[in-house]
Amino acid sequence: MEVIIKLKDKKEPVTYTGDRIDVLDFNMNGTKYKQIRYFKKGFSKSELIDENLIIKITKKEEN
């Protein structure tokens, strides 16, 4: 699975790959974020991205 996120002021999109990827809404101190959790070979990592910086989120499923 792959998630591609296009951000403002960035030429290249940010790409996350893994066995499973979760994109969740997250609110902290009144600021809205997207939490990206990606799982690869039993391990997971998480990142927060300010919702105002995101232009587009695209998911690609592997068959």
| 2-29 pLDDT, tens digit each | 999 999 999 999 999 999 999 999 999 9
Which string of b and e fits 2-17 if b means at least 16 CB within 10 Å? ebebeeeeeeeeeebe
Which string of b and e fits 21-59 if b means at least 16 CB within 10 Å? bebeeeeeeeeebbebebeeeeeeeeeebeeeebeeeee
Mean pLDDT calculated for residue range 56-62? 88
Task: Give first-to-last CA distance, the chain, whole Å.
Answer: 9
Record the pTM: 0.83
SS3 61: coil
The region of weakest confidence among 11-15, 50-54, 59-63 is 59-63
